[in-house]
Amino acid sequence: MSDSHNASSPASRRGLMVALLVIAVVALGLVWWKAGQANRARATLVETYGAEINEIEGALDVVLRSQDLTDLSPVVPLLRTLGQVKVLGVSECSKLESFQGVADLPALEAITANGAASLHSLEGLAGLPRLSEVSAPECPNLVSLSGLRDLPALEILDLSDSPKLTDTSALGGLPHLRNLYLANASSLVDLDVSGLVRLEQLDVSGSGKLAHLTGVERTVLKDLFLNTCHGLESVPKLGEVKTLVSLQLRNCPVGENLAALQGLGSLGNLVIGGVAGPADLAVLAPLTNLQELHIEGASELASLKGLAAPGLTYLSVTHCPKLTSVDGVASLKVLEHLDVSNNAALNSLTDLTNHPAIVQLNLTGCKSVTDAGVLAGLKQLGLLEMGGSGIPRPQVSTLKIALPELIIDLSGSSSAGPE
């Protein structure tokens, strides 16, 4: 029995070796076959669809340049053959009408379709589990957000400069969205962000027909840009957005009611422009965390008094026809940059006397400012812009002696002022 067992052992081992060799040959053949298939797919993508394919850390970044694609169904099987596509760019596919087919790329994290002239739908994106960014600005025929659903990872959505966009109801199904860019959506009338409970940044600047913006109190907005939203009279419960850090209201009627902003205790940057404005800045006194304040073209503003922002470092008050002095600036002890350019009636800088922190001062276009004597006491002043001011040349020379390191910018004027 022992001899029989010994005789069969070499045969068993030979059989096992043959089986392993067959498996290895099959596996190697499969690898070769897959490699050949991938090479053929790559060649087709490059030759037929103008693809640029880059591999980054085992994943693919693909850009398509095809004038024939109307959706992505023809290319997705080829892309799947290559591997995991994480980033897909289709900005140069001028006839692309939708993203149909792309749902079969489950590893996709970002898709870009900047300026896709024929894109009218976002259909095809639904259900992508890892998609975190959709960027499709400057799409002149995009009318709605239908197709944006079941996207648990979507955080960034950029559809700026889409003039036909009117339907944003799909936003309610994107609870993880953090950044939403709808600037220059010139046909947009209503926007409800109440379902975007993680929204941190919203830009609808230039959306001139926007009349209703609701639900902001349900968000955690940090940055809100409403510049040139001419049709927006108010934003309900804006004062309840305690997380807001930056608010821009240039040429937006919301800026007429500054009292509505008094609850924004975290606000650090405020831009107001193109409104009548208050007579002074006392209405902004509750905004004690302001670090930057920009006011442009406030027709009724006559005084800078009233601010109670000990950390304010940047103050710009320009094109305000009733402003005659900088009274109120003395209390802003850490103010470094003061821009009071193009205030035609401004004639007194007395409140700047011996200010301890001013580094940059802009008096461009302040024709009524004729006395620069107080500026000699600004020991930190490094840059003075005064083109078109009323400060005479002899005073400029005197100022240079007092502050030899001072840089004086006279651009915008043919002279330093009257002789």
Distances (CA, A) of 247 to 114, 176, 257, 324, 415: 27, 22, 14, 27, 38
Q: How much is the pLDDT for 37? A: 73
pLDDT for 321-344, tens place per residue?
Answer: 999 999 999 999 999 999 999 999
pLDDT mean over 154-164: 98
Mean pLDDT of 34-52: 86
54-103 pLDDT, tens digit per residue, is 998 889 999 999 999 999 999 999 999 999 999 999 999 999 999 999 99
pLDDT band, residue 137 (cuts 50/70/90): very high
pLDDT at 105 over 90: yes
At position 85, the amino acid (one-letter code) is V
Q: What is the pLDDT of residue 305?
A: 96
Q: Does 255 fall in a domain? A: no
Q: Is pTM beyond 0.95 here?
A: no
Q: How many C-beta atoms surround the C-beta of residue 315 within 10 A? A: 24
4 or 119, which is more confident: 119
Domain that holds residue 86: 17-177
Q: Say if residue 26's pLDDT is above 70.
A: no
Report yes or no on 267 lying in a domain.
Answer: no
Which amino acid makes up residue 242? K
**Residue 46 in this model has a pLDDT that exceeds 80:** yes
According to the 3-state scheme, what is the secondary structure of the chain? CHHHHHHHHHHHHHHHHHHHHHHHHHHHHHHHHHHHHHHHHHHHHHHHHCCEEEEECCEEEEECCCCCCCCCCCCHHHHHHHCCEEEEECCCCCCCCCCCCHHHCCCCCEEECCCCCCCCCCCCCCCCCCCCEEECCCCCCCCECCCCCCCCCCCEEECCCCCCCCECHHHHHCCCCCEEECCCCCCCCEEECCCCCCCCEEECCCCCCCCEEECHHHCCCCEEECCCCCCCCCCCCHHHCCCCCEEEEECCHHHHCHHHHCCCCCCCEEEEECCCCCCCCHHHCCCCCCCEEEEECCCCCCCCCCCCCCCCCEEEEECCCCCCECCCHHHCCCCCEEECCCCCCCCECHHHCCCCCCCEEECCCCCCCCCCHHHHHCCCCCEEECCCCCCCHHHHHHHHHHCCCCEEECCCCCCCCCC
> Region 239-244: what's the mean pLDDT?
96
Task: Tell me if 115 is assigned to some domain.
Answer: yes
Q: Is residue 116 domain-resident?
A: yes
Closest residue by Cα to residue 138 from 161, 157, 118, 112: 161
Provide the CATH number for the domain around residue 139.
3.80.10
Output the pLDDT for position 20.
Answer: 66
Whole-number pLDDT of residue 12: 72
* Angstrom distance (rounded) from CA 270 to CA 330: 20
pLDDT confidence of residue 311: 97
What value does the mean pLDDT of the chain take?
Answer: 92
Sign of CA dihedral 380, 383, 388, 391: positive
Task: Let me know if residue 83 belongs to a domain.
Answer: yes
Q: Is the pLDDT of residue 6 over 80?
A: no
Mean pLDDT of 168-173: 94
Residue 171 pLDDT: 95
Strands 360-362 and 383-385: what pairing? parallel
Cβ atoms of 220 and 245 within 8 Å: the answer is: no
Structure tokens at 256: 């007429």
| pLDDT tier for residue 23 given thresholds of 50, 70 and 90 | low
What is the pLDDT at residue 32?
46
How far is CA 251 from its chain centroid? 19
Q: For residue 416, is pLDDT > 60?
A: no
Q: Is the per-residue pLDDT at 314 higher than 70? A: yes
pLDDT above 90 (res 228): yes
For residues 38 and 33, the model is more confident at: 38
Q: Please report whether residue 34 resides in a domain.
A: yes
pLDDT, position 58: 86
Please, which pLDDT band fits residue 417 given cuts at 50, 70 and 90?
A: very low
CA 10 to chain CA centroid, nearest Å: 73
Q: What amino acid is encoded at 52 in this protein?
A: E
Tell whether 192 is covered by a domain: no
Q: Is residue 29 part of a domain?
A: yes
- State residue 419's pLDDT score: 39
pLDDT > 70 in the chain, percent: 90
Q: Over 50: is that where the pLDDT of 31 sits? A: no
pLDDT for residue 1? 46
> What is the number of structural domains in the chain?
1
- Residue 161 in tokens: 């400069």
Please tell me the predicted confidence (pLDDT) of residue 15. Answer: 66
